[in-house]
Amino acid sequence: MKAIVCMQYGPPEVLQLQEVEKPVPKDNEVLIKVFATAVNSGDCRLRRADPWAVRLFFGFTKPRYAILGGVFSGEIEAIGKNVSSYKVADQVFGSTGMSFGAYAAYKCLPEDGALSLKPKNISHEQAATIPFGGTTALHFLKKANIKPEQKVLIYGASGAVGSAAVQLAKHFGADVTAVCSTSNIELIKSLGADKVIDYKKEDFTSNGETYDVIFETVNKLSFANSIKSLKREGILILGATGLFGMLKGLWSKIASNRKVISGLISEKAEDIVFLKELIEKGYYKAVVDRSYPFEQMVEAHRYVEKGHKKGNVAISLI
């Protein structure tokens, strides 16, 4: 089968299209024919080992998993003998978790993994972009115990996590203020934000407003500025997940004695199902900036690495 293989850390050019062995499902696994995947900021950080400490967990000299990619949408081609939740030809989408491997034509996952039947009202490319931002935003908003009418500010609202957080916070009944650039204002308004601040024209930390929750999704907002706009009992979410977010979160808790939520997320099938149901009811939209063919994975990584994408970047394998 074809796959994008990463044999060393480095720039996008380290990604190579190769033929590799097709996986065989175990008794409790499903074999998924991948129709689409996506490129997100986490993929880029892992590819270049940023921060350097990534190597301690994912391989010191090269990635432990040569095939990257954590999200997918496709069709079940085969099932293990003990699988009962899915059948051949089911259309599914989800996340591969720490096993990665979605940058390939096929991927095996346990039937109780972070997957679900695909929403019927969106394409495979759209579905593949949902899990990364969707599960990340959902994880942190649930940990923050978002309540109706709370004032929530989302910084970096036009990215994969930010665009998901705007929609989910509104669904939970919050009063949402979103911060993004001029070119993304209309997009974020269309996702339901109650107020949109153009960070190029206004510094939200100087307008006197305070918030119950500040969700920093892009790791570009200073800790000191975040605290200035947070209510005394407020919660700061550092959504730049992974090791860096975890270390930054620990430091922030010590430095401020405030409640700070950060770190690695847990991906569950129930969260994928929750997002599916929201999509099918029209309460959640897939935000796709661009789509690339599988053979242009390097170009897709270059674009994502610039840091200006709106929502997500999809990759088509069909």
Asked if residue 234 lies in contact with residue 244, where contact means CB atoms within 8 angstroms, the answer is no
Asked if residue 236 lies in contact with residue 216, where contact means CB atoms within 8 angstroms, the answer is yes
For tokens 């030809």, name the residue. Answer: 89
Asked if residue 292 lies in contact with residue 299, where contact means CB atoms within 8 angstroms, the answer is yes
Which pLDDT does position 33 carry in this prediction? 98
* Start-end of H helices in 3-86: 41-47, 54-58
Residue 246, burial from CB neighbour count under 10 angstroms (0-12, 13-18, 19+): middle
Name the CA radius of gyration of the chain, rounded. 19
Which pLDDT does position 206 carry in this prediction? 87
Q: At what angle do helices 269-280 and 124-143 cross, to 10 degrees?
A: 120
Asked if residue 147 lies in contact with residue 211, where contact means CB atoms within 8 angstroms, the answer is no
Instruction: From 318, 283, 276, 316, select the one nearest 114 (Cα to Cα).
Output: 276
For tokens 């080992």, name the residue. Answer: 49
Which pLDDT does position 254 carry in this prediction? 45
Which pLDDT does position 257 carry in this prediction? 57
How far apart CA 75 and CA 92 sit, in angstroms, is 6
| 153-183 CB burial, b ≥16 within 10 A, e <16 | bbbbbbbbbbbbbbbbbbbbebbbbbbbbee
Q: pTM to 2 decimals? A: 0.92
Phi, psi angle pair for 254, to nearest 5°: -65, -40
Q: Residue 179, CB half-sphere, CA atoms under 13 Å: how many?
A: 20
How far apart CA 257 and CA 251 sit, in angstroms, is 10
DSSP state of 160: H
DSSP state of 118: P
Instruction: From 79, 120, 112, select the one nearest 95 (Cα to Cα).
Output: 112
Give mean pLDDT in consecutive 10-residue pieces for the chain, a chain of 318 residues.
97 98 98 98 92 87 93 98 98 95 98 97 98 96 96 96 98 98 96 96 90 92 82 88 48 59 89 98 97 98 94 97
Structural domains in the chain plus CATH codes? 2-131+267-316 (3.90.180.10), 132-261 (3.40.50.720)
Tokens at 215, concatenated: 């969700």
How far apart CA 186 and CA 163 sit, in angstroms, is 12
